[in-house]
Structures are given as C-alpha cells and as structure tokens.
Structure 1
C-alpha cells in the first residue's frame, strides 16, 4: 500500500517494543488506537512531566513525516486532512519530550525549566496552517524533505541548538493536539506491522471478540483492511520511512 496519493504530509506514531513482563500491552494499545485514535491511550509519567514543564495541556503526539527507530513492530500512519485551529495545539521542529529530557544539546546550555519553556514558546507554531508551515519549515531548516526523512542534520538549524546526527529523533517535527480535540480521536490510515505481530494481534483480538464481539470485530476488520505486513527481515519503521520518501518524491 502506498502513501503517495495523500494530499497532506502523513502523521506517524508507533508503539515501543513490548516489555517482557507485559507481552500483551502493545496489543491493548493498538486496539485502543484503532478504536479511538491516540486519545485512547493514557499519558505516561514522562509525557505528564513534559507537559507540566512546557505548559502543554493534556495532548496526543505525532511525528510529521518521520518514524523513530525506537518503534517496535507496530507503526501507525494518519492522513490528517481535516482543518485544525490555533486552539487545537501546536507544531514544533523538535521533539518536546527530547527537549525536557536532555536529548537536545544547547550552546550555551539550557539548565532550568524556565529556559526550556522559553525555548519551546519561541519555536512553536500554530496548527491552523500546519501543512504549509511544516513544508516551508523543513525546507528552511533541513534543506529538503528527503534529507529530513533520511535523518540528515539540518543545514540551517535553530539558534543555539547543537545537532547530533547520531540522534535525529530529537529534531523530528512534532504535532501535539489537545486530547479534547476531535482530531485526537481520528482513526489511523494505515498500520505497518511485522507479519508475526499481525497474526499475534489478530489472534488476541479474536479471543477478546468472544467477550465483546461488536467492539473487537470492528478492530479486526480494520486490521484486515489497513495493515501493511512487513517481512521479518525489515522493521515497520524502516518501511514507513521508505513510504514517506516516496510521498516526498511525489510532492516536491
């Protein structure tokens, strides 16, 4: 399945590899996303800390035209073509969590929460015209969308930021949308998932369907129609980046 026909830059969110102690947690999260968008997930302590420091109201988070290598065997892609307003959230040319957690280096260093918030406030954009803002911003900071998707260091980075090419995720463009906004409950467009994980998810959903047929049947049907199965030799995140590169080539 291709993404090239989408008329706006794709949004991406993925699930981290499952913990040994909680092997089914990722399936519960996947089902929640398919049923109720990212708003179906509960924010973790790291996200809550970040929101508190930066003054972000409870939100859902996506990367624009990027997929993190840290994602596990399930990566979702959204087609966000509905209108957004300035009150729905913000767009940043960096990972807000990376800003607070110290994954972004500065010269001179930022050492206080007030400095983190000031940097965030000065470098965030409205979501009202997010697509042209993202497109022009990527060209200004990264040179080309293809270079950005490839994870290359920016050619014209933000003032005071020291870019580490070994950790490009800190500089992925991020959209954060209020959980209360309708768009946060938008179902994903596609799920890129390993073949084994896809079968594992379907089996788990089928077992749950015995208890709540109508709920899980809808999720099972969605997976059947929209899952892009990835061979064991490749990672879903790599496949998403390849699909995004083709999208960029189709939208120069």
Structure 2
C-alpha cells in the first residue's frame, strides 16, 4: 500500500512561535484498518508510512525535535500476532530508512526499556543511533517499550545510586531529569494525540508537565503534514505563561 504523497514544502516556511519540540501519541492504526475490514497490521504499516512523511516535514515547519510513541509497556497485552508484527515493522523501518534519515540530517534515538526486545532489533537500534549520531537537522526520538512510570522508576534508582556514591547532595528536579531516558533532550512544547482519545497514556509525564496538548479525531494513518501544519499554527496563538499571572 502506498501512502498519499507528501505536500511540497520549502525549508524555512514557518509560522510565528512554532514549537521546538513536538511529541506525538500515534493512535488509531488498528482502528483505521478495522474500519476498512483489514487486519490491524495493515494499519500499522500505513502508520509507518505516515511517520516517514511527518519526519520529512518537521524541519520544513521549524520543528527541530520530534518524539513519537511507537510501543508502550502496556502494548505487550495485545495479541502475539500483533506484537510480533509490530516488532517486524520497527525492524524493517530502521533497515529501510537508515540511509535516508542519515542523508536528510535526522538523528534517531530510542527511549524505553530495550532489554525485553529481540536481540536483532536492539542491534538495529544501536546501529542507527551510531550511524546518525552526527546529525542535527531533526532529532527524532522513538519511544519503544516505554512507559512514563517505568522511566521514573529507573530514574529514581539512578538518582539514588548517585546520592549513595556522594555525587550529589540534596537532589533537585534537574538531577532527576538528568537520570531520565531523555537526559539532554529539551522538554516537549506540544504533545499531539491522534484518534480522538483524550488521555496521555503514560507518555512523558515528567517532561510534558508544561507542554500544550492537542487532541485530534484524525486517525494516525490519515494524519498528514497538512494536519500538523494546522496544529502548529494553533499552537502559535496560545499564551504560555508557565504558572505566571
């Protein structure tokens, strides 16, 4: 299945007050396929095509950081067929897109607990991180086997170890942030969830404390760069006071 052609965009055509960092909960792949009488994995494959388009479009819209929620710690509850199919899609995406992302200046990184993942998939993840490490046009972070509470648990253990070694005294928020999977990443300015659901599903609870949220009814396989452009324009009209009057 071939995804719709991406619109032609020109580098630098950005609106006012564009977010530096956008995070997306890519929801609705399975529903999109089911509504058409197709297997859920067809929707996931179509969703992967959308990822390619959004990754290409983000730098052209002034977005320098993109974090996408690909597989949560709760997604293991899905059928074995769907989970294995998803892992295969992740592996194929990395293999097929590695050279293109490197050529486009995309740096790809992963957050989440890698240990339960297949050894070959972990190797591919390590490989593309090394291959794209020198890029900076777009920082793409993919959350695989990620859950915000699990991340905070890991970070707390790391922080406690640092305290135990005497590396820090009274811990601060910055100390905890430095122990997160996203250490060194800017916090997201905008979090988008597709498919009409209005919950955050354990996604970046610490990092997105002051992010703006946008919930759209559009299912992820139908979410085009044009949809993203509209949301970014609305973001530019928001008044972000960060607790100030």
TM-score range, shorter-chain basis? Answer: under 0.3
Q: Taking structure 1 as the reference length, what is the TM-score of the superposition?
A: 0.26
**TM-score if structure 2 supplies the norm length?**
0.26
